[in-house]
Structure 1
Amino acid sequence: MHAVVLHEFGPPENLTYETVPDPVPGPGQLRIAVRAAGVHHVETLIRKGWVSETSPPLPRLPSIFGGEVAGVVDAVGPEVDPAWLGRDVVVARSTPGGYAELAVAQAANVHRIPDGLDHAAAVAMIITGNTAMGLLHIAEPTPDDVVLVTSAAGGIGRLVVQHLRDLGAKVIGAAGGPDKVAAVRALGAEAVDYNQPGWGHGIHGVTLVLDGVGGEKAKTAYDLIVAGGRYVTIGNASQQDFAQDNPNVTSIDALGLMLSGAVDVDFEAEALAAAGEGRLVPGVQSFPLAEAAAAHAALETRATTGKVVLVP
């Protein structure tokens, strides 16, 4: 099969498209002919060899990245019901990673894709959708909140905006550039371009910030929160921190709580059902599997909108 392999930590160009042996499912496993594979921002950091207290351990090289896989079951191992064959499925944890034409997963971890949901959308929901729902579970927004969402055009941000809109909260989405602002506005939220100077002027009464970007943009959002409000971290695309020094604002690192396991949230099935029913519609930007390096480069420079997906 073809796969994207990392032999040495470094720039996106270190991801090489090559031929590797087909994986064989073992006991309790099934094999998926991959139709879509998800790409995570954290994978761009791991590719560089980056480590932190909350990041996954660096893989042993050579490595095939990506656990999010959607496709069609084409083989089953011992102890697996052959009725799985031919089914459209999605899973968050596959081996080797999803940057490949074939991947193996534990049958117990696999979900059937709801009718009407395509492979790319299913991949966008299995981790990104699960994460978005978990973060909202921790943040506990209400219809009375005025919510400012940064990185609102991203994979998580788009889902969060839709949930808040349906909840009845006032939603302001901040994103970078006219195309992303238009995408947020199309979701039914107010939208601002946080690449423009003074972008926070005119925003008032913010009771909750859901921040996915960090750094100076997050600081601007933080300073807009009224007394008694909450600042909730749902990501840190910039990998930059800032001083959270307002005693009248409650800060919650929701993403850190989830990554550390301090809060147990498992919404995979619920996220897929919400997408299948049309209540949440993920944004997807697809790249050919052979262009995984370009996908990483675009994700790193925040040139993408929605969930980045590789298509063999």
Structure 2
Amino acid sequence: MKIVEVPVPSPRAGEVVIQTEAIGVGGVDAVIRRGTLGALGPSMPQDGLVPGSEVAGTITAVGEGVEASWLDRRVWAFTGVSGGYAEHVVARIENVTPLPTDLAAVDAVTLGSAAPVAHFALRQAYFTRGEAVLVRGAAGSIGIAAVEIAARAGARVVAVTTSSAERGERLMEYGATHVLDRAGNSLRGHEPAGFDVIVDIVGGPALPAFLTRLVPNGRLVLVGLVAGPPPADFGSVLLSRFQRSVSVATFSLDTVPRADVARVRADQFDAAARGDLSAVVHAVLPLEAAADAHRRMDAGDVFGRVVLTP
């Protein structure tokens, strides 16, 4: 990864140009960088790729069909699966959400993608008040949001898996009641008997073991593959528990109507500005330190979101 100079982009019809204030560094950026996007989407060319998918900043130019009133507005934007690590980026106007006056750009890119994923993943799982929820891989921005949203919505138990008791202590500040290690063994508090809902950001070879933690009619929703895909035969675990009616679903925000996502994101930004939703920032680094941000993610040292600033 290296810094290069390129021309400031010009917007096409339906697009805006944003001068960035903050750039989110997500786990999917690292997966794309490695060329291992795999089941999460199409392969990306490595040569000349500009990583990054979410930014916050000020609109400096609008394309044909975009109202001039958008000029000079502070916004969050999704740039696609690439293009975000830059001082100026282009986004489709339908992928732009205005920012509340009191919300910092750094907080916006910490929540803008992660919090809607957490919200809609819990909806995909048909989560209801009083149920027991496990968030697997809870130290990232999606996981922290899922913990906080489930707790505030009245989950009876909010358990988390994480790499250490220390991280578990931090997650309890956001609503976790039980802390498990990555294998599912208790690090703090008694080990819950089972879970109605598992929000899984990890996937990987250990996923089948977590299927056995679902109570009858339990639902696991897979929202990420940080540890890679599950074993090809993981469905045999489901079949072995046929009479318990457990289920597995995948979830991508791409399947939710954009208007619904934008509405929820705007509500979450307002909640964050009021202090009712937490934006957990691990570190703010200059844009030229993007490679260091990725090294930190690869090392598993990140709690929350790493943010770049131009």
Q: TM-score range by the shorter chain?
A: 0.7 to 0.9
Quick check: 1:23–1:96 contact (8 Å CA) kept in 2? no
Deviations 1:200-255 (A, max 9, x none): 87222422222211235544433222233222222221114143513225222232
Quick check: 1:143–1:167 contact (8 Å CA) kept in 2? yes
C-alpha distance in 1, partners of 2:48/2:21? 23
- Structure 1 runs not aligned, ≥5 long: 1-14
C-alpha distance in 2, partners of 1:48/1:109? 26
1:32 aligns with 2:21: no
| CA 197–54 in structure 1, closer or farther in 2 if over 3 Å, else same | closer
Aligned twin of 1:189: 176
Quick check: 2:135–2:161 contact (8 Å CA) kept in 1? yes
Quick check: 1:126–1:268 contact (8 Å CA) kept in 2? no
Which of the residues 280, 291, 294 maps onto 1:293?
A: 291
C-alpha distance in 2, partners of 1:216/1:82? 51
C-alpha distance in 2, partners of 1:20/1:172? 46
Paired-residue identity, %: 29
C-alpha distance in 1, partners of 2:17/2:221? 38
1:277 aligns with 2:271: yes
C-alpha distance in 2, partners of 1:95/1:226? 36
**1:55 partner letter:** G
1:68 aligns with 2:54: yes
**SS of corresponding position for 1:61:** coil
C-alpha distance in 2, partners of 1:205/1:49? 36
C-alpha distance in 1, partners of 2:65/2:218? 52
C-alpha distance in 1, partners of 2:186/2:249? 24
Which of the residues 65, 90, 93 maps onto 1:107?
A: 93
Deviations 1:98-146 (A, max 9, x none): 1011112233432211232111222223322222222122111111211
1:81 aligns with 2:67: yes
Aligned twin of 1:143: 129
1:177 aligns with 2:164: yes
Q: How many residues align?
A: 295
Q: How does 1:225-304 map to 2 (within 5 A)?
A: 225-242=214-231, 243-244=234-235, 245=237, 246-247=241-242, 248-255=244-251, 258=253, 261=255, 264=257, 266-278=260-272, 279-285=276-282, 286-304=284-302
**SS of corresponding position for 1:215:** coil
Offset of 1:45 from its aligned partner? 1.9
Aligned twin of 1:116: 102
Offset of 1:197 from its aligned partner? 8.3
Deviations 1:32-76 (A, max 9, x none): 110111222222122122252441331473121212111012233
C-alpha distance in 2, partners of 1:111/1:190? 33
**SS of corresponding position for 1:23:** coil
Quick check: 1:114–1:273 contact (8 Å CA) kept in 2? no
Which of the residues 201, 207, 212 maps onto 2:201?
A: 212
| CA 146–31 in structure 1, closer or farther in 2 if over 3 Å, else same | same
Aligned twin of 1:152: 138
C-alpha distance in 1, partners of 2:173/2:55? 28
- Structure 2 runs not aligned, ≥5 long: none
Aligned twin of 1:222: 211
C-alpha distance in 2, partners of 1:212/1:108? 27
**1:130 partner letter:** P
Q: Mean alpha-carbon deviation: is it higher for 273-282 or for 115-124?
A: 273-282
Q: How does 1:19-58 map to 2 (within 5 A)?
A: 19-58=5-44
Quick check: 1:125–1:272 contact (8 Å CA) kept in 2? no
Offset of 1:162 from its aligned partner? 1.2
* TM-score, length of structure 2 as denominator length: 0.84
Offset of 1:91 from its aligned partner? 0.9
Quick check: 2:98–2:266 contact (8 Å CA) kept in 1? no
C-alpha distance in 2, partners of 1:289/1:215? 31
Quick check: 2:24–2:109 contact (8 Å CA) kept in 1? yes
